[in-house]
Amino acid sequence: MASFETSRVSTSEPNRRRWQPLTRLVFFAAAYALSARLGGLLVFPPEHVSAMWPPSGVALAGLLLTRSREWPGLLLAAAVTGSFALHPEWKSSPFMLAIAAGNLLEALVGATLLRRLVRFHASLDRVKDVLGLAGLSALASTALGATLGVGMLVARGHLALDGFWPAWRVFWVGDAMGVLVVAPLLLTWLAGGPARWAPRRRAELATLLVCLGVATHLVFRTPNTSALAASVFHPMTYLVFPFLLWAALRCEARGAALATAVLSTVALWHTARGGGPFAQAAFHNASIAWLQSFLAGASLSGLLLASALSERRRAQDEVSHLNRELRESLRTLAATQAELVRRERLAALGELSATVAHEVRNPLGAIANAVAALRRLAPQATEGPAGTLLGIMDEEVHRLDLLVNDLLDFTRPVEPRLEPQPLQPVVEGALTASLRSGGPHITVSREVDERLPPVAVDPQLLHVALTNLFTNAVQAMPRGGTLTARLEPDTRDGTPHARLTISDTGHGMAPEVRARIFEPFFTTRASGIGLGLAIVRRIVDGHHGEVSVQSAPGQGTTFTVWLPYAGAAHGAA
């Protein structure tokens, strides 16, 4: 079913802009004529007015679903087609044209009031939309059409003057029934296009309508022969209300409007054929009023419940949306705070590193020079306990110098000068430098693919990063083991890379340790400050590469470094 939304059409679609108003005009004019023909079948004597007048709802829906500038054409087309579609004996009658004009005038007044006072939503998803439809259109504006229509019947001689008010009341309620039954059906199903429901929901709606039709048929099929039937309602009449509530709860306004249309169609058809609780006195004004009251109550009950549920659902969706935004804001705030803390720590660390480099390296240099001088001036002091103490001093001076270098490396901006060159010499240099501090029981296994293309690297920075990785592998095997270095080609996210894998057979890491090893200042060793692997990640990121770790307790550790080839690294930059 095509959508009849009134939103503006893009200027890039001239054909659609030209034909869409014409399509709406033809559709509603045809619908008005057909509904007028059907409404003529529900005309009962002696009032000669319809128990329900569908054209009222069609005209109102047509005006609410079209632009204001299209109203004159729609009203004219509906007046012409509707006047010739009335009861056969009324064809070409100027009085019937006047009645049709009054009907369209009430729709125009109702549509204007709804748009101006209620800001009407055609989807009927608000309680005030349903109340506005019932109050401003079904009750207020229809009085104008009833007055003109019954006045024409009296002037034509189809109705005596003393029957004006009884006929006016039936005419008025008949127009109101058209507004309450037909208009919601057209508004809810044409305003937003086809319903995007799951197949199970569509099957449920179909089952509901079938059950409602059967229940209404069972209630209204039996002819009433009692003289009091018109004033005594059978309790089975209310059997249809659970199905209306079911439609409103599960399918909201669209389901409620469709269910009401099914109920009204079956009830009016049986009543016209002499069946149901209203059939015994169907030719009396009071009986028609009771039938209309029953259908009006059913329609309003379903629509009000559906609109209330729609408002509740929208409120829940809004709360959920606000909660999601709040959670996202909290996550953003937490990330921003963490970034601020990190920047403050880096700033403080930078100041500390500058101070350490100036204030600590000078005493360290003096101590190192003094130790070297003692060894030259007193060679005999290099043996025995004095030599041991001098060796300890040398080691500690070297360790402190490494700590200062780590601080400076971490706080210094990483701006590698990438140059295409073979990666194997850099790996060999880092491995050789790391093995100098290793034990004698470490076995080294090298697997290098000689066909690797050049890689864009900064040799000095990458040497620092790889030395850290090889040193960690050596220190993880204090009792010896096997260190494996494998250099081979690989593809990462569709880009060719060189992959360096560094594996050891050491003690491995627990999952909670493995998750934090790249964090600055995180360490599990008594010596060191936990900056080595953080520096590794910064350097590898500066080379547009990646680094990852795999480890398990007692199963060793494997670090993998991916570095793009020279051309790929330039593209990544």
Residue 234: its pLDDT value, please?
60
> How does strand 546-551 pair with strand 557-564?
antiparallel
Domain end call among 315, 339, 370: 315
d(CA 121, CA 253): 12
* Same domain, yes or no: 454 and 384: no
Which residues have C-beta within 8 Å of that of residue 484, sequence separation ≥ 6?
Answer: 444, 445, 446, 447, 501, 502, 503, 504
Q: Is residue 7 part of a domain?
A: no
* Same domain, yes or no: 343 and 394: yes
Average pLDDT for residues 429-452, to the nearest whole number? 80
Model confidence, pTM = 0.57
pLDDT digits (tens, 9 = 90+) for 290-335: 777 888 888 999 999 999 999 999 999 999 999 999 999 999 999 9
Average pLDDT for residues 496-509, to the nearest whole number? 91
* Same domain, yes or no: 97 and 171: yes
Q: Is residue 547 part of a domain?
A: yes
Domain end call among 358, 378, 411: 411
* Same domain, yes or no: 150 and 46: yes
Q: Is residue 3 part of a domain?
A: no
Residue 369: its pLDDT value, please?
82
Q: Is residue 321 part of a domain?
A: no
Range of the domain at 331: 327-411
* Same domain, yes or no: 187 and 224: no
Residue 334: its pLDDT value, please?
92
- Domain harbouring 101, CATH code: 1.10.1760
Q: Is the pLDDT of residue 566 over 80?
A: no
* Same domain, yes or no: 32 and 142: yes
* Same domain, yes or no: 38 and 164: yes
Q: Side-chain half-sphere of 214: how many Cα atoms within 13 Å? A: 6
Q: Is the pLDDT of residue 161 over 60?
A: yes
pLDDT digits (tens, 9 = 90+) for 198-221: 888 889 999 999 999 998 888 888
* Same domain, yes or no: 406 and 446: no
Q: Is residue 2 part of a domain?
A: no
pLDDT digits (tens, 9 = 90+) for 21-32: 778 788 888 888
Q: Is residue 548 part of a domain?
A: yes
Domain end call among 315, 349, 383: 315
Residue 571: its pLDDT value, please?
47
pLDDT digits (tens, 9 = 90+) for 345-357: 767 766 766 676 6
Average pLDDT for residues 541-565, to the nearest whole number? 91
* Domain count within the chain: 4
- Domain harbouring 377, CATH code: 1.10.287
Residue 75: its pLDDT value, please?
83
DSSP code string of 421-461: E-SHHHHHHHHHHHHTTS-TTEEEEEEE-TTPPPEEE-HHH
d(CA 211, CA 245): 13
Which residue has better confidence, 526 or 166? Answer: 166
Q: Is residue 182 part of a domain?
A: yes
3-state secondary structure of 559: strand
Residue 411: its pLDDT value, please?
65
* Same domain, yes or no: 241 and 286: yes
3-state secondary structure of 50: strand
Lowest-confidence pick of 277-291, 398-412, 465-479, 542-556: 277-291
* Same domain, yes or no: 177 and 206: no
Which residues have C-beta within 8 Å of that of residue 321, sequence separation ≥ 6?
Answer: none
* Same domain, yes or no: 304 and 337: no
Q: Is residue 526 part of a domain?
A: yes
pLDDT digits (tens, 9 = 90+) for 124-151: 989 999 999 999 988 889 888 888 878 8
Place of tokens 């009658």: 93
CB atoms within 10 A of CB 107: 34
Q: Is the pLDDT of residue 87 over 90?
A: no
* Same domain, yes or no: 231 and 355: no
Cis peptide leading into residue 496 (ω within 30°): no
φ, ψ at 454 (rounded to 5°): -65, 150
